Structure formats: C-alpha cells, structure tokens
Amino acid sequence: MHSDPRIARCFVTRGLAPLGLLLALALPCLAQSRGDIVVPGTGVQLNQVGDDFEEESWDFIPNNPKSTEDIDENQRQPMGKSTNGRWYEGAKRGHPDVVKRVPTPPGGLAGSQGSMLMKSLYTGIPNRPSNKMHQDDFICNVQYRLGGTLKVSQSPNVTTRVFIPPLDEWENRNGPHFAFRAAVETTIMENKTKFLFSSKSQKDEVYWPGLFILRGTKQVEGKNVPYAYFRVRADRNGGDFLGPEIPETGWWTLGLSFTPDGLVHYFARQGVEELRREDYIATSMPYGYRCEELRSFFYNVVNGDNGRDWTTDWIVDDPKLYIIQTTRMAKK
C-alpha cells in the first residue's frame, strides 16, 4: 500500500454535522497535505464524457438478464448500454432494472428538460430475491471514449446533480440507498511465494471511493423520525465514515476530485449551483492507497432485494468530467 503519514485520520469525521462544521474541523489538517484541494467543476470539461439527457430519443438497452458476477460469477454477456454510447452496465453487479429518461423535476438546472431515472426491484440475482442488501451499478463510459484512463497529475474531477426525493417516498429501510462513486487505480506490491522462495511484484489495484446517501431514524419529541445523511468511502483502513446530515431533500450537487498527491476530495451542495470551496466535506486516502488514475465514475442504487420493495427512485442530471492539465483536446 502507498501511505503518507501526514494524511491521517484528521480528515475522518465520526459524527453527523453541518457542512460548515465539517469544513472547520478539517481545515487544521489541510496544511499537512502537499497538494491543493480541487473543487469539482474546475478546469476544462471533457465533453466526450458525461450527459445532459436532453435528447428525447435517449434510451438504455438492458440486454437482460443482467450481470451478477459479485454473487454467482455470472456476467451474462452482452452488457447493457445506452444508445448514445455514454453509459454501460457494470459487469460486476449489473444495471438498475429501470433506466430511462424522464422530465427534469422542479428546481433543476435552468433549461433542463430531461434527466435520468434509475431504480431496481431485484438488485441481486434476477427474479431470485435474497432478502439481503444488494446494489446495481450504472457506469459512465470514460476509458473507451477518451482512449484510456486519466492520470491524477491532470486533477480529474467529476460532478453530478441528484434529486433526493421526499423521505416518505423512500424504500422503508435504514442504510444506504444511493451512491455517486468513481473507479480509480493505484499500484501495489504483491507478495508471491514459489517453493521456498518469495518475491514481490507490482500489481494494478482498482478501488471505488465515493459518497453514499443513507436513511436513518432519530428521536424527535419522543418519536422515531427518518432523516437522510451522507457517508464517505473510505478512510485509510477501508472503512466508511460519517458525513453531514441532509437537511432538506430535493436537488443536490455532488462532486469528487482526485489530485496529484493521490488524495480524494468529497463535496456536496444543496441545490443545483456549481460547487464551491465551502461545500467541502472531507479529504481521504481510501484504503491507504495513493490514487494514480481515474478509470470511470458511476451510480449505485441499493435495496433489500426482497422481491417486493423497489429501491427509492433516483433521478440524476448533468454528470460532467473536468481536468486541469491535459494533453487531450476537449471537444467544443
């Protein structure tokens, strides 16, 4: 593992707190980091990647049954994909059962007419409820459309808008319901033993940091009241840690950035305006790995996979990818 003793658990916030308080708690630690934090949405947008869902003909071809490689090692080729070539089914966990273009909910981006809805009934093996929590993936096509990964020397960063529905419309279950994540890569040393001899070799390791949205309950005037909050993946040991409570549902803007020092930075803002420095949640070195390359970013939808209760309806809009330093030419 790649570790940096200066990036310690000072970035991990163990309790729920407003965004401003999280920022105040984290600021004393930032001087210990070599690189500057990049606010997601900074730099040149790579228009080859992402989507605005404005084409009325936008569609997803599921190629069912979906993959469940994480459960039974069955990919069930061919993978599902969008007709515009910008999205594809995750080979590990499969796509959401429903992926479609819908009218943008009120309060969305100015001029936006279309957004993307994702939801699932069977998040595990199709038509075989497990009564265990599972998730589906919907992946933005980054590598194939750009011809490779993005080095963190280019400070890649991603943003999305997500419509968080009223809590009485959620699946009635505490725990994770949605995530905005990225697939990133590092290099680790792997120990190998052959007969009486041992050796070390380099190996590419992929991991998936991101922001989860969860439902919880708390006591208010003697009653159990549901609420929503963020959870961040991950700390140096690979554990998730608590982020801020979500004070109001509706549109939110989420962002992740990856800087040349190998760190991951997490942001969230209520509404659809561009992210700012004050929307910072945390900085981390997930699993103790120094991030080297960005491969893709994606969404998760999660439920209890009981064959009765659908996931919460999750609507997203305008996912974008930016870089600061580039040898690639962004299309106009």
Are 19 and 241 in contact, with CB atoms under 8 Å apart? no
In 3D space, the residue among 285, 264, 193, 286 whose CA is nearest the CA of residue 37 turns out to be 264
Residue 128 has pLDDT above 80, yes or no: yes
- Phi/psi for 292 (5° steps) reads -115, -35
Query: 332 falls in which pLDDT band (50, 70, 90)?
Result: very low
In a domain, 4, yes or no: no
In a domain, 330, yes or no: no
**Lowest-confidence range among 110-114, 261-265, 269-273, 322-326?**
322-326
Q: What is the pLDDT of residue 7?
A: 36
Are 307 and 171 in contact, with CB atoms under 8 Å apart? no
Q: What is the pLDDT of residue 201?
A: 75
Dist CA 200 CA 288 (whole Å): 19
Q: What is the pLDDT of residue 326?
A: 52
- Between 24 and 249, the more confident residue is 249
Share the mean pLDDT of the chain: 89
Residue 55 has pLDDT above 80, yes or no: yes
Query: 26 falls in which pLDDT band (50, 70, 90)?
Result: very low
Residue 147 has pLDDT above 60, yes or no: yes
Q: What is the mean pLDDT of residues 41-69?
A: 97
Q: What is the mean pLDDT of residues 228-242?
A: 98
Three-state helix/strand/coil letters over the chain: CCCCCCCCHHHCCCCCCCHHHHHHHHHHHHCCCCCCCCCCCCCEECCCCCCCCCCCCCCEECCCCCCCHHHHCCCCCCCCEECCCCEEECCCCCCCCEEEEEECCCCCCCCCCEEEEEECCCCCCCCCCCCCCEEEEEEECCHHHHCCCEEHHHCCEEEEEEEECCHHHCCCCCEEEEEEEEEEEEEEEEEEEECCEEEEEEEEEEECCEEEEEEEEEEECCEEEEEEEEEEECCCCCCCEEEEEECCCEEEEEEEEECCCCCEEEEEEECCCCCCHHHEEEEECHHHCCCCEEEEEEEEEEECCCCCCCCCCEEEEEEEEEECCCCCCCCC
Structurally, the chain folds into a number of domains equal to 1
Domain interval for residue 189: 9-323
Per residue in 30-48, pLDDT (tens digit) is 433 444 899 999 999 999 9
Q: What is the pLDDT of residue 190?
A: 79
Q: What is the mean pLDDT of residues 184-202?
A: 78
Residue 121 has pLDDT above 80, yes or no: yes
Per residue in 78-115, pLDDT (tens digit) is 999 999 999 999 999 999 999 999 999 999 999 999 99
Query: 194 falls in which pLDDT band (50, 70, 90)?
Result: low
Residue 247 has pLDDT above 90, yes or no: yes
What is the CATH number for 201? 2.60.120
In a domain, 2, yes or no: no
In a domain, 1, yes or no: no
Q: Is the peptide bond before 234 cis (omega within 30 degrees of 0)?
A: yes
In a domain, 332, yes or no: no
**β-strand partners of 164:** 250
- Between 152 and 200, the more confident residue is 152
Residue 236 has pLDDT above 50, yes or no: yes
Q: What is the mean pLDDT of residues 250-265?
A: 98
Q: What is the pLDDT of residue 10?
A: 34
Q: What is the mean pLDDT of residues 55-77?
A: 95
Report for 29-43, 176-190, 196-210, 244-258: range of highest mean pLDDT: 244-258
In a domain, 189, yes or no: yes
Side chain identity, residue 120 = S
Residue 181 has pLDDT above 70, yes or no: yes
Could you give the percent of the chain with pLDDT greater than 90?
82
Side chain identity, residue 43 = G
Q: What is the pLDDT of residue 60?
A: 98
Per residue in 305-321, pLDDT (tens digit) is 999 999 999 999 999 99
Give the CA distances from residue 193 to residues 147, 197, 199, 235, in Å, rounded to whole numbers and listed in that order. Answer: 36, 6, 6, 30
In a domain, 280, yes or no: yes
Residue 2 has pLDDT above 60, yes or no: no
Q: What is the pLDDT of residue 197?
A: 67
In a domain, 179, yes or no: yes
